[in-house]
Chains A and B, each alone.
Chain A
């Protein structure tokens, strides 16, 4: 990443992150069954200390969660250095907000994602390589 095109990387990461956050939480709240399609086949999830990996297990895991209403308050993102992920365009997305799972009180959460660009002939599709979710007050 030379500093000339660093801004280009940042802009690309921001666009990807904003679009992704929009799609992710709408799918989570309204079309949960399709959520696992946003993940790569080999994706991993760490959800409040529970590790899940692979699309099929993820899909089962999400079906198990009560229905949700997410509200996003903070989004940040960074282009991931290409030495860490050679020949892969990768973005770190960090989110903070509140969530109300049906039958539970509203809680604050932090979530971060590693997104990987999957080039297709017509456009770039971002898929989740890794997802880490925690309630801020998970221990209480």
Chain B
């Protein structure tokens, strides 16, 4: 069969190519497993995994290099729905999801499921409200849609600002995760590991833009899902005889409940006493609303879902499908591939919890703790009796300082970082090191693929929206692509530099991205398609008000908690006792003598203020609960108070709603299949 286009050959052989790739990857894992049995040191197995997988991604990136604008920005719009689904899965699941999700569920139990629900259900909104219409629109970036629908560059600029503010902290966290995983498994220096990760990211994205990122993300999805599932499939088969952990962990949940009662009765776990003096386990795994009250639980689900439906690096993936129809089924495939990981995470959590509770329940002397506690204690991820569990002596010394500790490990003595659960499962279950290396490769794949998508979203907004559309609309193709690459390089190096400084604040701000996107982008985006009457002033007011309210709540409750609380104390939903304590600390601060005492009093006051600074008790992570309604209200009121959009714009909205016909926007330089 003769192929007219060079790309066609590759696309029609995708199934074969990725089947060989997957087979090759399994063979590689088995090969390293054999090497391990032959006595090759673990360190080399780890290097093998990390360097070979990164080399393969880079190779795909280099092979997918392009000099066409349409391929650089939207992969030529010929990515089949199924593969775009996989690429979105990798784009979506971050290093933190891969490494930390199961640990979060371990710690929070039922309440942690808000994340699992929130990070999947958002795709319903993407499919129904947004993706097919953006595909028909034919935009290159999300801000492109705003500029065309609402006319003029004001909305474009606001959209770029929202995009960068929600994507930048996120990409720093991904590069940070790359450094963390590489430094843990390879004993590389953290900063060196960060720049090694940067190199991998750049090789994947710089030469081929969206086209290269797409095909590497598919490859990365395969690695990450195999790495995530294999350890618990083995574990489930070992423990319950069936290799379906998602089904068998029901039994683990029952055993956990029994162990919880047993531990509480023995006084080896934190307990609560009811009015009658009966003692029960403080935080049963399946009990709802122990960490979040119902309001915060549901608010978090809503904000994560709407945030998912507004994050530009996800939405732009649906620009790449061959048709509107494919955009819809591609969202379904995306969710399916994401589902595979998220419905397995609770199984990870349950198996690990069962392991830890059994260990405590059988009465383990502090001198006989299993090796994995020290492995992760040495890098500060497991603490026993409040100190890093470096070795048996240090554990015994730390616990000796606690009255009535008793010499056995108790649940209240143990504190496990959320990252440990996934990383340690192979070791806890006694699997060979090759499986642990595989998990590290999976974590790296998750972090790298998300970083690629985010960097491209930021760099494209700067190069396409700011440079080409706002600064130099007459730039020739070649200049546009050079600008894209230079900006990508600049953003990537800057993000890596920020990550290398280990910025605690930036990492804790990642969760803000969802609320910022939900409040700043979602209302004007959805109404732009679904409400013809929405016009430019409405969009500007809605975006600024929604985003502004969200930033005000996030920054106010976190960094200016004292003055935020002083202004809004009447709206605070915190308990009266907590409010009384604030007043007490406030008095203490104002009467403290200037100098060190005053500073200390301020620190205490600020800490208490962060606990009480809120509206109706809503946690700062769910700021979009206020920002989003304000955004919607802004668009609606602003539009109704001003003139309806022109007939031309209204016709354009009609055309957006109809799958057939030409794209709304045509780029003069784009060589794309006509549909």
Do A and B form a real pair? Answer: no
A interface with B by C-beta (< 8 Å): none
Report B's interface with A, CB cutoff 8 A: none
